[in-house]
Structure 1
Amino acid sequence: MSDSATSLRILLTNDDGIDAPGIAAMREELTAIGEVTVVAPAENQSGVGRARNELAVRRDHPWGYALEGTPADCVAYGLRGLDTDFDIVVSGINDGPNAGNYVVGRSGTVGAGIESAFLGTPAVAVSSYHARDFFCHPPEEYDFSRPARIARAVTERVYGTGIFDEVDLLNVNAPIDVPSPRMRVTRPHADYDQQVEHHHDSEAVPDGDREHDIGDDEVYVRLQDISWPDAVGYENPFPLGDEHSERYPVGSDRRAMVDGEVSISPLAVHHGHTNDPKLASVVESLSEQVE
């Protein structure tokens, strides 16, 4: 253990729920480099992004606390509701990847890291993928020890180096099944579309998705992400590996996954801005017109 990590106080959370295998593997590794307190959702909260609740129920857990809330709720409570000044927040391990601008923006795993950054604490969000199966489902059938070791090494090495002076959080995607994978600094790749289906007959909608029979003036609308080429919703996009390699440039988080690498994307939580002289001109002219 490095000197910078000897007294690390780590807040650990996730979005798959406190009983998920990924967070258990992550906790086991992190206890070797610091004092770990877990505040994690009581149930699965995947895909909730940065959603917050004003009221949540807390339950004692052998590792810390289970919260009836979102990952961002857990971080907000952990950083402001406990008598510990945490050095860093680690979120994960998610049992599936979080790569690409759109997916990252909706991820509960990354959402926890964003909440942490807004509250002034650096964060590492960790997700896993399988180089053939893509998603690690069901998670009980996968071994999360490799991404846990990778996440531990990243957390230990980056803390105290000054990296978080400019970077708010690191988004890590690590393969479960690739021995000694290469690590690469990446950027989230923008690749997203949406498929929309209209169902006028409620019988055309699967029972699990059907809330009620629809009336004459109602239509079921199904919205499905196309966040990888030729994959709608939660399909496995990896069989077309060669085509993906051509589509995604080296240095993107998507390409790193296609190549079986560890993707580490430095992220900032501020929304940023662009100095656009055309917009400045329009605003100036509006100021002269509007009294």
Structure 2
Amino acid sequence: MAEPQVLLTNDDGIDAPGLASVYEELSAVAEVTVVAPSENQSGVGRTRSHRTVRESHPWGYALAGTPADCVAYGLRGLETEFDLVVSGCNHGPNAGNYLVGRSGTVGACIEAAFLGTPGVAVSAYHGEDFFVSPPASYDFDRPARVTREVVVRALSAAAFDSADILNVNVPVDVADPPMRLTDPHHDYDLVVDHEPAADAEDGDASAAVGADGDTGDIALRDVVWPETVGWENPFGTDAALDERYPVGSDRRALVDGEISVSPLSVPVSEVSDPTLDELVAGFNENEAARRAGGN
């Protein structure tokens, strides 16, 4: 049986150590072509560009664009018929429904799924530090080995007959982590801070801004884990995360030092509800009455 053709990308850039580790592992079981961003593109989701620039690389190509650009180009701009897209290994976790939706790592696989090719998105986390930053200080060999195993087993078991994407989070610091099927957990809020204008002089009270003012800068700070604002380490707080997140959620798997595998589907599923049928029927009835009345 011929080796599978794998398109490898990421959102940390083509020179990222996480991508290098995955490339080395996958090359033992697959024909791997890299099309990755020339620079860091973290957090861009499934953003696409209208134009881009390609530069040759020993493993494939670097693209001046987003992870979704790389996948779009790889699947439609190259002659290779790819069996799978692998995105990662990301330098930090992608767990939770909100973060998964904004992740460039996962966004690459969403683009692939819309183009008819399944994907595996892989991210790394640390059981105490949470983020693996700076990435040069961490070892991505374990996430890379897990990626290889997931790719081989998913393809041989026809796992992509039912799932479009497998979103995988792997600890870098757990010797023998168990694997668990998980659901992305929704836990998200936002803090809005009104700040002085960037060019305001010290002591200029008129430059201060309040919730109903019209001067100054506005900071939108994500609250993606309890007792954190922005990109703080949630494992460094006193929050009882094991009580907050149920077993079977991706976040609980991270708290317990497990490998989280969340099967995802694309596109999003529709909602069926009689009240929505009534909404449409009522609108059409009102429009018909309005036209009949000459209004």
My pick for the range that moved more, 39-48 or 152-161, is 152-161
Larger Rg belongs to: 2
Q: Note if contact 1:46-1:107 (Cα within 8 Å) is conserved in structure 2.
A: yes
Aligned match of 2:115: 119
Aligned match of 1:286: 283
1:156, distance to aligned residue in structure 2 (A): 0.6
Provide the secondary structure at the position in 2 that maps to 1:11. strand
Provide the secondary structure at the position in 1 that maps to 2:272. coil
1:236 paired with 2:229, answer no
Aligned pairs for 1:85-234 (under 5 A) are 85-202=81-198, 217-234=214-231
1:263 paired with 2:260, answer yes
Counterparts of 1:202 and 1:31 in 2: how far apart (Å)?
49
RMSD between aligned residues: 1.9
Q: Note if contact 2:112-2:119 (Cα within 8 Å) is conserved in structure 1.
A: yes
Counterparts of 1:146 and 1:44 in 2: how far apart (Å)?
22
1:162, distance to aligned residue in structure 2 (A): 2.4
Counterparts of 1:203 and 1:246 in 2: how far apart (Å)?
45
- Matched to 1:162, the amino acid is A
1:197, distance to aligned residue in structure 2 (A): 0.2
Counterparts of 1:203 and 1:175 in 2: how far apart (Å)?
43
What is the aligned-residue identity percentage? Answer: 60
Provide the secondary structure at the position in 1 that maps to 2:46. coil
Q: Note if contact 1:214-1:220 (Cα within 8 Å) is conserved in structure 2.
A: no
Q: Note if contact 2:227-2:239 (Cα within 8 Å) is conserved in structure 1.
A: no
CA shift in 2, pair 1:219/1:241, >3 Å: closer
**Residues paired across the two proteins, number:** 280
- TM superposition score normalised by structure 1: 0.92
Provide the secondary structure at the position in 2 that maps to 1:272. coil
1:201, distance to aligned residue in structure 2 (A): 3.7
Q: Which runs of 5+ in 1 are unaligned?
A: 206-212
1:247, distance to aligned residue in structure 2 (A): 0.1
Instruction: List 4+ stretches of structure 1 deviating above 3 A.
Output: 213-218
Q: Note if contact 1:186-1:251 (Cα within 8 Å) is conserved in structure 2.
A: yes
Q: Note if contact 2:226-2:239 (Cα within 8 Å) is conserved in structure 1.
A: no
My pick for the range that moved more, 263-272 or 235-244, is 235-244
Match among 31, 40, 45 for residue 35 of structure 1:
31
CA shift in 2, pair 1:123/1:286, >3 Å: same
1:242, distance to aligned residue in structure 2 (A): 6.8
- Please give the per-residue CA displacement for 1:32-90, whole angstroms capped at 9, x wherever unaligned: 10110000000000000000001000000011000000000000000010110001000
Counterparts of 2:256 and 2:237 in 1: how far apart (Å)?
12
My pick for the range that moved more, 269-278 or 131-140, is 269-278
Counterparts of 2:106 and 2:85 in 1: how far apart (Å)?
11
Counterparts of 1:246 and 1:238 in 2: how far apart (Å)?
13
1:163, distance to aligned residue in structure 2 (A): 1.6
